[in-house]
Amino acid sequence: RKGTAVITGASSGLGLATAKALAETGKWHVIMACRNFLKAEKAAKSVGMSKEDYTVMHLDLASLESVKQFVDNFRRTEQPLDVLVCNAAVYQPTAKEPSFTAEGFEISVGTNHLGHFLLSRLLLDDLKKSDYPSKRMIIVGSITGNTNTLAGNVPPKANLGDLRGLASGLNGQNSSMIDGGEFDGAKAYKDSKVCNMLTMQELHRRYHEETGVTFASLYPGCIATTGLFREHIPLFRLLFPPFQKYITKGYVSEEEAGKRLAQVVSDPSLGKSGVYWSWNNNSSSFENQLSKEASDAEKAKKLWEVSEKLVGLA
C-alpha cells in the first residue's frame, strides 16, 4: 500500500515542495494539514499534484482546539498514519509587540512549538498503530537556533534560559519570551526552533525503543525565497536570496529543500532515530551536531514537562 504522510504547513515553501516530491514518487498519499484550505488546494494544483495523491485537512496550530479537532478528523478518515512532518512555522522578525494564539501564548512559540507539541503527542498513538515498515516523526529544525554555527550567532541569539517565561504561561503578563526577557520576534522564532530540536530528542529518548518510530530533525539549508520572510523589510527580502547564494553559499532552492525533507521521510538510509540531518554543498546528507543548548537533555526534560502543562496533557 501507499504510505500516508501528514505534513503541517504544506501550503507553501518547504512543506509544499516536500508534498510534491513525495507525491511524485507514487508511493505516498499526503495529508496537507493547513490553516487556509483554499490556499492549500491552489498550491497543490499549482505544483501539478494530482487529486489522488493528496487530501487537504484543516489545521490551525495557533489553536489547541483546532489541533484536537484535526486529530479527530484524521482518525475519522480511518487512514493509517505512517509519517508525521511538523513543518509549519511563523516568523515575525519586525514585530514590535507580541501577538498571541487562541489560548493566549506568544504566537511564534505557541504555533511552532506548543501546537506541534500537542499534535505530535496525540498522533504518536496513531503512528504506533501503523504497520508501515519505517514509521517516522520529523520536526523541522533550523541552523538559526544553533549557536554553534555562524548563522546561529547573529544576534539576537536563541536562549531559553531557565524557562521561567514559558512556565509562567508565555501570555505577556509576566513575559512573552521563554527566558522571561523583553519581547523580540526574531529571538522568539529561534527559541521555538530550539524547542523543536529538543522535543525531537526527548521523543527519541522516551519512545524510540518502545515504539520503533524514528524521530528526526533537520536543517534543509537556507531556503531564502519562501514565505517565511514575508514580514521582513523589503530591502532584506531583496538582498537575502543573493546574499545566501553568493556569499554564504548556504542557499538552497525550495525544490531541492523539498527533496531533502522527502529523504528524511522515506529514504531507507536516513532511518536512524534521534538525528539532526544536514546536507553538504554537494547535497549529501550527514548527521550534524546540535549546539550545547539544543542538545541539553536536562533542558529537554524540563521543556517537556512545562509544555505538557501548557497544552493540558498533565
Residues near ligand NDP, by CB under 6 A: 8-9, 11-15, 34-36, 39, 59-62, 87-90, 111, 140, 142, 193, 219, 222-224, 226-228
Task: Output 193 or 299, the one with its CB closest to ligand NDP.
Answer: 193
Distance in angstroms (rounded) separating the CA atoms of residues 192 and 253: 24
Catalytic one of 54, 91, 132, 189: 189
Task: Output 7 or 303, the one with its CB closest to ligand NDP.
Answer: 7
Which residue number is nearest to ligand NDP in terms of Cβ? 13
Q: Cβ 45 to ligand NDP, closest distance in Å?
A: 14
Q: How many CB atoms lie within 10 A of CB 280?
A: 8
Among residues 304, 288, 307, the alpha carbon closest in space to that of 145 is found at 288
Q: Cβ 207 to ligand NDP, closest distance in Å?
A: 21
Q: Is 189 assigned a catalytic role?
A: yes
Task: Output 33 or 124, the one with its CB closest to ligand NDP.
Answer: 33
Q: Cβ 227 to ligand NDP, closest distance in Å?
A: 3
Task: Output 90 or 160, the one with its CB closest to ligand NDP.
Answer: 90
Q: Cβ 100 to ligand NDP, closest distance in Å?
A: 12
Q: Cβ 212 to ligand NDP, closest distance in Å?
A: 25
Contact between 198 and 300 (Cβ < 8 Å): yes
Q: Cβ 268 to ligand NDP, closest distance in Å?
A: 24
3-state SS, the chain, equals CCEEEEEECCCCHHHHHHHHHHHHCCCEEEEEEECCHHHHHHHHHHCCCCHHHEEEEECCCCCHHHHHHHHHHHHHCCCCCCEEEECCCCCCCCCCCCCECCCCCEHHHHHHHHHHHHHHHHHHHHHHHCCCCCCEEEEECCHHHCCCCCHHHCCCCCCCCCCHHHHCCCCCCCCCCCCCCCCCHHHHHHHHHHHHHHHHHHHHHHHHHHHCCEEEEECCCECCCCHHHCCCCHHHHHHHHHHHHHHHCCECCHHHHHHHHHHHHHCHHHCCCCEEEEECCCCCEEECCCCCHHHCHHHHHHHHHHHHHHCCCC
The β-bridge partners of 4 are: 29
Task: Output 152 or 180, the one with its CB closest to ligand NDP.
Answer: 152
Task: Output 142 or 171, the one with its CB closest to ligand NDP.
Answer: 142
Positions annotated as catalytic residues are: 189
